[in-house]
Chain A
Amino acid sequence: DTAVSQTPKYLVTQMGNDKSIKCEQNLGHDTMYWYKQDSKKFLKIMFSYNNKELIINETVPNRFSPKSPDKAHLNLHINSLELGDSAVYFCASSQGGLAGRYTQYFGPGTRLTVL
Chain B
Amino acid sequence: AQKITQTQPGMFVQEKEAVTLDCTYDTSDPSYGLFWYKQPSSGEMIFLIYQGSYDQQNATEGRYSLNFQKARKSANLVISASQLGDSAMYFCAMRGLIQGAQKLVFGQGTRLTINP
A pairs with B: no
Interface residues of chain A, those whose CB is within 8 Å of chain B, are: none
